[in-house]
């Protein structure tokens, strides 16, 4: 589909809510920006192939932005949206959590609901079977620490206990990634030098303990998955 054309049969606009889903768009169609940008408070662009948010600055009144099931990655760039309260980025290609949260904190000062399920940046079993509940809880502490105005994160309301714990520990929950050239910085063994085996602790043999966790999150259905967990009384 040409990016400049809009499939009117897939377009829904009512009560300041605009939906344009499942059209394989790689960017926000310019026609939507021109026709609806100044009117829209809720924008749903789920199930497209969006790679860039160029033109989002035309939607200056946005309060809710749904971008589930697209192709947004760490290169994502946001305009400043003072009124945005809800951001859903479920099932995209975001890996660097710290970079993403830094951008969000600077661009969306009023944000109270954020959902990142099924991104590598969100460490639970939806994105990585090797992650468990403790990995996910550390992630929550870090995000809550960085975005203290949040009330919901993913499918769960943020509890007062989490807020207290995040204020104490959240800063230390960030994930540090080794530089890509770290392996190159390691000393190289000289040719002809025999390798030296690591010492073996025979007393520890047979005592290794595995870690097991359960996934409490289920991600099914279509469009705006994160919002199904919110009722009007929660907002």
CA distances to 89, 118, 146, 166, 215 from 154, rounded to whole Å, are 10, 10, 15, 16, 14
Q: Is residue 232 part of a domain?
A: no
* In-domain check, residue 215: no
Whether 173 has a pLDDT exceeding 60, the answer reads: yes
pLDDT in tens, 77-106: 999 999 999 999 999 999 999 999 999 999
Question: What are the φ/ψ torsions at residue 12 (nearest 5 degrees)?
Answer: -130, 125
Alpha carbons 160 and 157: distance in angstroms, whole number: 10
How far apart CA 134 and CA 53 sit, in angstroms, is 33
- Phi then psi for residue 113, to 5 deg, are -135, 130
Residue 199 placed within a domain = no
Does 78 fall in a domain? yes
8-62 pLDDT, tens digit per residue, is 999 999 999 999 999 999 999 999 999 999 999 999 999 999 999 999 999 999 9
* Alpha helix (H) residue ranges in 16-68: 30-36
Instruction: Answer whether residue 97 is part of any domain.
Output: yes
Q: Read off the pLDDT of residues 190-218 as tens digits, 9 standing for 90 and up.
A: 444 444 444 444 344 344 343 333 444 44
CA angle 44, 13, 36 (to 5 degrees): 85
Question: Each residue of 90-100: b (16+ CB within 10 Å) or e?
Answer: bbbbbebbeeb
Closest CA to 125 of 188, 58, 214, 212: 214
Would 235 be classed as within a structural domain?
no
Tell which phi-psi region holds residue 118, choosing left (phi > 0), alpha (psi between -120 and 50) or beta. Answer: left
The CATH number of whichever domain residue 142 belongs to comes to: 3.80.10.10
Number of domains in the chain: 1
Question: CA nearest 58: which of 27, 88, 25?
Answer: 27
Dihedral, CA of residue 119, residue 177, residue 174 and residue 99, to nearest 10? -60
pLDDT confidence band for 133 (50 / 70 / 90):
confident
**Within a domain: residue 208?**
no
If you average pLDDT over residues 105-126, what whole number do you get? 92
């Amino acid at each position: 589909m040409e990016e400049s054309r809009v499939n009117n049969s897939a377009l829904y606009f009512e009560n300041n809510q605009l939906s344009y889903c499942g059209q394989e768009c790689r960017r926000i169609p310019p026609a939507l920006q021109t026709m609806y940008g100044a009117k829209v408070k809720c924008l749903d662009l789920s199930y497209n192939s969006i790679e860039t948010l160029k033109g989002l600055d035309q939607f200056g009144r946005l309060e809710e932005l749904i971008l589930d099931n697209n192709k947004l990655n760490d290169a994502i760039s946001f305009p400043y949206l003072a009124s945005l309260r809800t951001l859903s980025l479920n099932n995209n290609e975001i890996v660097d959590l710290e970079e993403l949260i830094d951008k969000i904190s600077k661009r969306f000062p009023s944000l109270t609901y954020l959902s990142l399920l099924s991104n590598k940046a969100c460490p639970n079993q939806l994105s990585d079977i090797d992650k468990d509940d403790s990995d996910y809880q550390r992630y929550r502490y870090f995000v809550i620490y960085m975005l203290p105005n949040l009330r919901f994160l993913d499918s769960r309301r943020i509890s007062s206990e989490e807020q207290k714990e995040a204020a104490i520990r959240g800063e230390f929950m960030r994930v540090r990634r080794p530089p890509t050239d770290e392996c190159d910085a390691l000393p190289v063994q000289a040719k002809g030098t025999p390798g030296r085996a690591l010492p073996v602790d025979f007393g520890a043999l047979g005592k290794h303990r595995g870690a097991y966790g359960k996934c409490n999150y289920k991600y099914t259905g279509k469009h705006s998955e994160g919002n199904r967990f919110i009722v009007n009384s929660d907002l």
